[in-house]
Structures are given as structure tokens and as C-alpha cells.
Structure 1
Amino acid sequence: MKLFYKPGACSLASHIALRESGLDFTLQGVDLQKKRLENGEDYLQINPKGQVPALLLDDEILLTEGVAIMQYIADRVPDRQLLAPVGTIARYQTLEWLNYVATELHKGFTPLFRPDTPEDYKPIARAQLEKKLHYIDESLKEKQWLSGHRFTIADGYLFTVLRWAWAVKLDMTGYSNIEAWMKHVAARPSVAAALAAEGV
């Protein structure tokens, strides 16, 4: 398998999932502005969406969209318990978090990264994110992991997106549960290896 990624972007969550899985994979960096691979190849010929992550499977099928990719990886290695079995409440709690991170948090950061976002909208976007951060901080109170007693793909995704809070200089004082949880996740060998490989 080959993961197309940009260092520190949302593709980091899929990268972490791959490292957790123990499956064989390679990495291919993408310049998202130029839509080119490191060797100059046109990325749009591989992924017409022009976004990361994308996962090229060994049979040449391309999967896109991080949440789908992470679920695929987790389902390939059920013994790793990155996603609980079908029919269990633990699975749906993990999916609940995946959806929350994707729709409420991930998309909430987008205006703060885009150069064409009007300056007068940025404080509104920040205020909306702060409400989400408060909810997450409360949810992490006295918890090691988001859903259940094990690291899941939802933890990798939330970790990836929360890293952006410091990148856009959100005030993270007062979110002690988030701070402790981020350190806890960062200490996992798979996470440390993914961060090192991406140079972030």
C-alpha cells in the first residue's frame, strides 16, 4: 500500500493508523499547492480530488477520504482493535467521534488556514472552535482514550486535528485535559514514528 500525504495535514491520522496496524506501506509526499508528487508527477492523475490522504491499495484501487481510509485499515487488522467489531456499541462510539472530528473540528479549522478567509470572519471561526475545544476537554476528563479503554482510529484523528490549534495560535490555556491527553497520545511509538517520518 502507498499513502499519499502532506506532512502534518489530516493525512497524519491515516499514517498513524497504518503504523498502529503493522501493515506494510510506503509514503509518498504531495505538494498540495502544485498538485505534484515529490518526483514532479501530476497528482491529479492519481487522485482527481487533489487532496490527501489517498491510499493506493496493492490491487491498484485508490481509497480517498481519511475516515474511510482509517476504517479500512482498522478492519484489515481486527486483532489490533483499532475499531471495535461490527454490532458493538464501542464501534459506534468510535464512529461517533470520527464523525464529530471530521464535521465539527476538522472543517472548523479550515477558515484559519485559508488565505482567502476574510479577516473579520476569523474571530468567529476561533470562537466556534473554542466551544468545540471546551466540549472535547470535558469529554477527556479522567479518560485515557476517546471511546473505551483502548487507542482507536478516533484518537489518532483527534490528535492530528488538535495539533493545528497550536499552529493557528489558539489560546489553549485552561484545556488541561486536552494537554494531558495530547502528551499521552504523542508517547505512543506509532505516533512518534509517524511524526518523525513526516518531520513534524
Structure 2
Amino acid sequence: MNKSKELINKLGLDATIHAEEIPDIDLYMDQVIQLFDSKFGPTLRNTDEKVLTKTMINNYAKGKLFIPIKNKKYSKQHIMLINLIYQLKGALSINDIKTTMDPINEKIDNEDFNLEDFYTHSVALQQANAKSFFTEMQAHEQEIAEMEMEDDLKHLLLITSLANMSNAYRKAAELLVDELISNKKEPKK
């Protein structure tokens, strides 16, 4: 079987946009899309997929998933926020993403909030998660390899195992989003 290394390479789990890679100058939408394509394009499943489109960015802006843009240009903060949204969109609904992003956007608007520090921690966690995934993937693969059955059935078991783990992580994230909603409704003491 030994698909772990092959899958990890194709997944590009270490692909990200580090804070220091984001220009300090504001970018036009096409430049933002180009930046995301250069970082995440190789991780796409096929050539028909898009990392980010003008429509996606416009929908994020209309849905108030990030702070308002100025003069049709996107700041370093916008790019960090769009990347956070990009990381969330594979697992959460747009409403859940908005709920998740609201506290960050409020902090940017109302407080002296260092988004770059938060973003850097997020990227560090993403990279730690990639290492954990590789270890977990190898353990699943090893356990399945020891089972006595045909290789195609082992392959199917690996698929179902990964799908099951994916569902567990997504459901856990959704429960945490629900907790955000619940905490917002409760009066602060």
C-alpha cells in the first residue's frame, strides 16, 4: 500500500502563505488571486478547480467575512483574512465561516489587535497539523496493511478511514462554531 508519502506530497499540506511573504503594499484583486494560485495551485485535485476567483472574493466581501476593502485594493490584513477563509472553506459552510471570522473582524475594528501574530500562530498550527496528519496516516495505513484481505479492499478501507476522520474533525469544528454562537447570545457578566 504505502500511499502515505505519495498522498502527503500531492496534498501539499505545507503549502501556505507566510506573513512575511505577503507584500506590505496593497494589491489589486488579480494580484491577490495570482498570489493564492502560486501557493495553492499545485495542491488542486485537477486543472478545472480554482484556488480563488473574483466571484469568491466578492462574495466574501459582500458577506462581510473580512473587513471592508479600500480603493479596490487588498491590504496585508485582507490577504491574511482571505487565507484564513480559504483554510476554513473546505470544512465549514459560509455561515459557519462568517461566525468564525466575526470575532477577528470585530477585534480588528474595535481593538489594538495584532492580526499578524494571530495569523502566524495559525500558520504554525497548520504546519504542525501537517506533521500530525502524516503520522496518523502512516498508522492507519500500517494497521490496514496487516489485515488479511485483497489490496483493493485495503484501499477502500483507507478511504473510509480517512473520510471518517475528516467527518469527525469537521463535526468538532462545527460544534465549536455552535459554541461561538451560543456564547454570543449569552449576556456577558
Sort the TM-score into its range (normalised by shorter chain): under 0.3
More helix by share: 2
Q: Which has the larger radius of gyration?
A: 2
